[in-house]
Structure 1
Amino acid sequence: MPSRQTVDAFTAQVLSGDHVGAIRDWYAEDASMQENQASPRVGRDLLMDGEARTLARVKTVETELLAPPLIDGDTVVIRWRFTFAPHEGPPKAMEEIAWQIWRGDKVWRETFFYDPRQMA
């Protein structure tokens, strides 16, 4: 079960823009991420690679925490807003809920819930 201090340190790293580093530092080796109802991606190295590829497709990403994370035992729920500035064209903002299951001080399972039309 993560402490408030652990979750705050994790969110601070994401807010700093170190998205790949946050996966490296805060996710279990066998962690998984799942987008809405898609199949999960499994393995920290795969997750880091996917995050790096996403970031490479845009010029910048501004990350906002829209509410304090909710912590209930091993479950953490975080409401984020990401504003992606593409290499060309106007920025696009996306809000999502990240539903995480932690194993000790590491994220083990994560599902993102969002409306994909936000990026259209």
Structure 2
Amino acid sequence: MPSNETLERFIAMVETNDHAKACEIFYTENSTMQENQATPRTGRDAHVAAEHAVMSRARSVSSQCVRPVFVTDDKVVIRWIFRFEWLDGSVTQMEELAYQRWEGERIAEETFFYDPAQRVPVRSNA
């Protein structure tokens, strides 16, 4: 079970959009990360690489934790809202739930639940 301090540090780092660094610091070496029912990615290095790949395609990112955060034993559920402005000018706004299993102070398993229709970029009117 993560301490409240660790959980708040994790949320704060994601909210500053340093997603790759959050993976480096807060995930176990052999952690898994799964998008809806897709095949899970395994390994912290794979998570970091995936975050770098997404961020390299974005002009700007906004990440917001919607409270409350639910914690029971080693399970944590966080509601996130993300807004990506892509290099081509399109925008993706997503709301998701992250269901996590922590081993001590690090995330060992994480599954994201969201409507996949949200992943379709929309042309910005700006």
Pairwise TM-score range, normalised by the shorter structure? over 0.9
Deviation at 1:4, TM superposition (A): 1.4
Equivalent AA in structure 2 for residue 32 of structure 1: T
Q: Relative to structure 2, which stretch is displaced further, 76-85 or 87-96?
A: 87-96
Aligned to 2:124: none
Cα deviation, 1:38-89, whole Å, max 9, x if unaligned, reads: 1111000011001110111111110011122111010000000000001123
Q: Which residue of 2 aligns with 1:118?
A: 118
Task: Please state if 1:109 is matched with 2:125.
Answer: no
Q: Does 1:50 align with 2:50?
A: yes
Match of 1:69, SS state, is strand
Measured on the aligned residues, the alpha-carbon RMSD in Å equals 0.9
Spell out structure 1 runs of 4+ moving beyond 6 A. Answer: none
Q: Residue 91 of structure 1 aligns to a residue in which SS?
A: strand
Q: Does the residue aligned with 1:53 lie in a helix, a strand or coil?
A: helix
- Structure 1 residue runs of 5 or longer lacking an equivalent are none
Matches of 1:67 and 1:93, distance apart in 2 = 18
Hey, what does 1:23 align to over in structure 2?
A: 23
1:1-120 alignment to 2 at 5 Å?
A: 1-120=1-120
Count of residues in correspondence between the two structures: 120
The Cα shift of 1:109 comes to: 0.1
- In terms of fraction of residues, the more strand-rich structure is 2
Q: Give unpaired runs (5+ residues) of structure 2.
A: 121-126
Q: Distance in 2 between matches of 1:88 and 1:67?
A: 32
**Percent sequence identity over aligned pairs:** 43
Note the C-alpha offset of 1:92.
2.0
**Separation in 2 of the partners of 1:62 and 1:10?**
15
How far is the alpha carbon of 1:16 from its aligned partner?
Answer: 1.1
Distance between the aligned counterparts of 1:46 and 1:80, measured in 2?
Answer: 21
8 Å CA contact 1:4, 1:71 repeated in 2:
no
The TM-score, its normalising length taken from structure 1, stands at 0.96
The one-letter amino acid paired with 1:109 is E
TM-score by length of 2: 0.92
